Amino acid sequence: MRIDVVSLFPEEVDRCTAFGVTGRARERGLLQLHGWNPRDYADGNYRKTDDRTFGGGPGMVMLVEPLRRCLAAVREADPAPVHVVYLSPQGRRLDQKRVRELAAMPRLVLLCGRYEGVDERLVQAEVDEELSIGDYVLSGGELAAAIVVDTVARLQDGALNDAGSAEQDSFEDGLLDCPHYSHPVEHAYGVVPAVLRSGNHAAIARWRRQQALVRTWQRRPDLLEGRELSKADRKLLQEGLAALER
């Protein structure tokens, strides 16, 4: 998969995705990341990329023309058709479902705004979708773009080893994760639950599912809203909640 990032600070996205799973996916060529700076396509010796907003009020707006030229160069750089995503507070909220869809595309262009954002005419003419990462205020779209890169990189074939892909499955079914433990078995902070050391894999899977259900119920009931729990899950949840009462 190829991702082109258009940003006044393209190295910010490069550095955020140069380590760990995403760094390895890039090293293995599972994901190619290219940075582009609209300043390289701006006019004049100040290479202006932004200017005051019409209608007055605070803040600057990123100009159409440098972005238009830059995006033309991006399209030119590879024959694969592009899907242009504008990271913006006005976008649809990113979720794992959309991540899976984006990860299946051959090519993504991630457009990052700064200041108050991008001239709306560029958005209307060139952007296929706007995405937000949540209802809080960032200084620009770069960290949001890095999150898109990270989340789609993990889904590229070969990016995660077996363990990692199992990890994917647990979150993929829309529940929070169960608690995790490692050495030592006994510590001043507590002991590892015996079931995890029982070697009884059915009991371990049951315990983990129950923990995930109880935690989701307690911390993110909204995740359970949109779904019917199976009879087995309902029983596990009831039993798990009853155990808390005792």
Residue number with CB closer to ligand 21W (66 or 141) = 141
Task: Look up 154 and say whether it is catalytic.
Answer: yes
- Active site includes 4? no
| Backbone phi, psi, residue 125, to 5° | -85, -30
Alpha carbon 43 to its chain's center: 34
Beta bridge partners of 130: 86
> Contact, 139 vs 113, CB < 8 A?
no
Looking up tokens 């959309």, which residue turns up? 98
The torsion angles phi and psi of 176, rounded to 5 degrees, stand at -70, 165
Site for ligand 21W in 125-164 (CB under 6 A): 132-134, 136-138, 140-141, 144
State yes or no: residue 116 binds ligand 21W (CB under 6 A). Answer: yes
| Burial of 35 from C-beta contacts in 10 A (0-12 / 13-18 / 19+) | middle
Is 229 exposed, middle or buried (CB count within 10 Å of its CB: 0-12, 13-18, 19+)? middle
- Of these residues, 2, 78, 89, 98, which one is catalytic? 89
Alpha helices (H) along the chain = 10-16, 20-27, 64-76, 96-103, 120-126, 142-153, 162-172, 201-219, 221-225, 231-245
How many residues form the binding site for ligand 21W (CB under 6 A)? 15
Q: How far is the CB of 136 from ligand 21W (least distance, A)?
A: 6
Nearer to ligand 21W (CB atom), residue 64 or residue 224: 64
- Residue number, 109 or 212, with CB nearest to ligand 21W: 109
Our answer to whether residue 98 is catalytic in this structure is no
For the bound state, the minimum distance from the C-beta of residue 43 to ligand 21W, rounded and expressed in Å, comes to 24
> Smallest distance from the beta carbon of 217 to ligand 21W, in angstroms?
28
In the residue annotation, 114 being an active-site residue is answered as no
Q: How far, CA to CA in Å, does 179 sit from each of 29, 192, 198?
A: 33, 10, 16
Site for ligand 21W in 62-91 (CB under 6 A): 87-89
**Which of the residues 11, 51, 101, 116 is marked catalytic?**
116
224 binds ligand 21W (CB under 6 A): no
Q: Which residues pair with 51 in a beta bridge?
A: 61
- Tokens standing for 111? 């457009």
* Residues in contact with ligand 21W, shown as a per-residue x/- string from 94 to 113 under the rule CB under 6 A: -------------------x
Residue of 76, 135, 169, 225 marked active site: 169
Q: Is the peptide bond before 38 cis (omega within 30 degrees of 0)?
A: no
- Whose Cβ is closer to ligand 21W: residue 15's or residue 93's? 93
> Active-site residues: which are they?
89, 116, 154, 169
Binding residues (CB under 6 A) for ligand 21W: these are: 87-89, 113, 116-117, 132-134, 136-138, 140-141, 144
